[in-house]
Amino acid sequence: MAPGAAHPALLALLALLGALLPGPGGAETSVQPPKAIIPQGGSVRVTCSASCDHPSILGLETELTKKEVDHGENWKTFELTNVLSDSTPKCFSTCSENQSSTSVSIIVYRFPEHVKLAPLPTWQPVDEHFILTCQVSGGAPRAHLSVMLLRGEEVLERQPVAKGESTEVMFTVLAKREDHGVNFSCRTELDLRSEGLGLFQNSSAPRKLQTFVLPMTGLHLDTLRIVEVGTQWLVSCTLDGLFPASEAEVHMALGDQNLEPKIVNHGDSLLATAWVKSNEEEGTQHLVCQVTLGDQTRSRLENVTIYSFPAPYLTLSRPQVPEWTTVTVECKAHAGAVVTLEDAPARLGAPRAQLQLNASAEDNGRSFSCSAALEVAGQWLYKNRTLKLSVLYGPRLDERDCPGNWTWQEGSQQTLRCQARGNPLPKLKCSRKGDGASLPIGDLRPVKREVAGTYLCQANSSRGVTKREVVVNVIYHQNIPAIIVPVVAVITLGAVGAAAYIYYRKQKKQIYELQKAQKGWEKSGKKLNTPATPP
């Protein structure tokens, strides 16, 4: 029920009271209610009354559709319908000659038809102010209408809505990190509580805000600066302090070749890595890393020099030569590079170098190393190549390889060394003259007298045969039992011989002679006691 449509009986009573209380100066027109607030298109009843002591002429002057619904002496009740806008109908009365009038204020209220939050910036940089606009169309009375900006459910600010059918209300907001992903909305409030009505709210659809931080500096791009053709290498691009890091997009490219970076976020840090393979084209290429967040992009560029540098071309006239053959070693470099051939006469900055030699046994297994140097983007690069020469010689078995005279103490610890040299490696065989026993090459611990002897060593290879004699002497102490046996034998024989002689002479010579023989025997006994001396 519209608030203006009061009960007709009550209105009649009020009109009667108005008639009974004459206003100052006699005839007066009054209206009930003096003020009404009704919804747009609604209706309201208005009672006009006159304070006149006799019947008077009463009327209501309005453009609105009116209908007299009741009347009495000096009062009339009108119903006004389809009230679309604010209006002030006038009640008038004529009492005798005197005319008077009074107006009633009818205020129409309506809810806004549209409450909208204008589209937000897609991405809003953090710590920058931006404007949020609430669009309100309709809504009356405007004096009672306000609009609020909401962040989620929190009211950030309230502003009145100015007059006009469609009004925009602007709010300035400082973007924060915490605002990322938060819904913002507008809400109108039509506050008619002072009019005895309620508080009416209308809300807009929410819009999600996206805030971001993309630092101006600090983007790093790590890469090799000089790269050989065909190389694969890893490049990485890093940036700290960006928010929200997970929303960042990374583009990496080498020249016109797009890379496929692998992106890892850690807090506010971003790391993008990608494998790059240099194509076959030499020269400088741009490696670029671009980080895009929100509507901004940061990029970093590095120059990568791609070069081609094959190892030097090193040759030997023959890789395997017989002794005393002339060998030519030659080293050639790729265009632009310079070479240095080890042992060759130094010729600075030359693209080729040569060396000649008369191959000797000492050159067998000798390495020839050639180093090429190339300057790329201010850096010197080196590449080496090494070749080994094989010189056929031998077999060799000289004093150095196999000493021919060894003299050792029995029981001592020794090492017998005998090794044939040659390329190909000769086979060595040493056998003792007489019994053919093998020469015990290697560690002898202890040396035994049985190894003594003269050995004949023979070194064989496809290149010939060589021979050498090796004498092994073992010195040993002649101890007592060894010497006693022959001595005792001699003495025994001597004694038997002497006895036979004495017996024979006893018959011919005197006692004196016998005594002389006895003395000789004593002499032999003395000799028996003398200690043996080593030879």
- Prior bond to 244 cis, omega within 30? yes
Question: Could you write out the DSSP letters of every residue in 154-190?
Answer: EEEEEEEPPSSSEEEEEEEEE--GGGTT-EEEEEEEE
Interacting positions 34-93 with ligand NAG (CB under 6 A): none
The one-character DSSP state at 213 is B
For residues 297 and 407, which CB has a smaller minimum distance to ligand NAG in the complex? 407
Binding pattern for the stretch 147-166 against ligand NAG, x by CB under 6 A and - elsewhere = --------------------
For residues 239 and 372, which CB has a smaller minimum distance to ligand NAG in the complex? 372
Exposure string (b/e) for 358-367, b if CB count within 10 Å is 16 or more? Answer: ebeeebbebe
The residues facing 115 across adjacent strands are 136
- The closest alpha carbon to 45, from 87, 90, 7, belongs to 7
For residues 66 and 432, which CB has a smaller minimum distance to ligand NAG in the complex? 432
User: Least distance to ligand NAG from the beta carbon of 343, Å?
Assistant: 12
Contact 41, 84 (CB under 8 A): yes
Q: Is 398 in the site for ligand NAG (CB under 6 A)?
A: no
For residues 390 and 460, which CB has a smaller minimum distance to ligand NAG in the complex? 460
User: Least distance to ligand NAG from the beta carbon of 69, Å?
Assistant: 29
For residues 111 and 123, which CB has a smaller minimum distance to ligand NAG in the complex? 111
For residues 104 and 161, which CB has a smaller minimum distance to ligand NAG in the complex? 161
The answer for residues whose C-beta is within 8 angstroms of residue 234's C-beta and 6 or more apart is: 273, 274, 275, 276
Region for 198 from its dihedrals, namely left if φ exceeds 0, alpha if ψ lies in -120 to 50, beta otherwise:
beta
For residues 471 and 487, which CB has a smaller minimum distance to ligand NAG in the complex? 471
Q: Is 407 in the site for ligand NAG (CB under 6 A)?
A: yes
Q: Is 382 in the site for ligand NAG (CB under 6 A)?
A: yes
What gap in Å lies between CA 91 and CA 530, rounded to an integer? 179
How far CA 193 is from CA of 197, 198, 203, in Å, comes to 5, 5, 19
Position among 28, 79, 179, 302 found at the interface with ligand NAG (CB under 6 A): 302
Which structure tokens are listed for 52? 């006149």
Q: Is 137 in the site for ligand NAG (CB under 6 A)?
A: no
The residues facing 473 across adjacent strands are 407
- Number of residues in contact with ligand NAG under rule CB under 6 A: 31
Interacting positions 165-194 with ligand NAG (CB under 6 A): 183
Binding pattern for the stretch 196-215 against ligand NAG, x by CB under 6 A and - elsewhere = ----xxx---x-x-------
Q: Is 371 in the site for ligand NAG (CB under 6 A)?
A: yes
Position among 358, 379, 409, 478 found at the interface with ligand NAG (CB under 6 A): 358
The span of 22-30, 36-44, 486-494, 513-521 binding ligand NAG (CB under 6 A) equals: 22-30
Coil vs helix vs strand at 228: strand
The span of 24-32, 388-396, 478-486, 506-514 binding ligand NAG (CB under 6 A) equals: 24-32
For residues 13 and 301, which CB has a smaller minimum distance to ligand NAG in the complex? 301
- The closest alpha carbon to 123, from 184, 211, 185, belongs to 211
Q: Is 303 in the site for ligand NAG (CB under 6 A)?
A: yes
Q: Is 119 in the site for ligand NAG (CB under 6 A)?
A: no
For residues 64 and 149, which CB has a smaller minimum distance to ligand NAG in the complex? 149
Interacting positions 420-479 with ligand NAG (CB under 6 A): 427, 429, 458, 460, 465, 471
Coil vs helix vs strand at 294: coil
E strands in 401-527: 405-409, 414-416, 421-423, 427-432, 442-444, 453-461, 464-475
Binding pattern for the stretch 324-353 against ligand NAG, x by CB under 6 A and - elsewhere = x-x---------------------------
Contact 454, 470 (CB under 8 A): yes
Coil vs helix vs strand at 397: coil
Region for 526 from its dihedrals, namely left if φ exceeds 0, alpha if ψ lies in -120 to 50, beta otherwise:
alpha
Give the interface with ligand NAG as residue ranges (CB under 6 A).
25-27, 96, 98, 111, 113, 183, 200-202, 206, 208, 284, 301-303, 324, 326, 358, 371, 382, 384, 405, 407, 427, 429, 458, 460, 465, 471
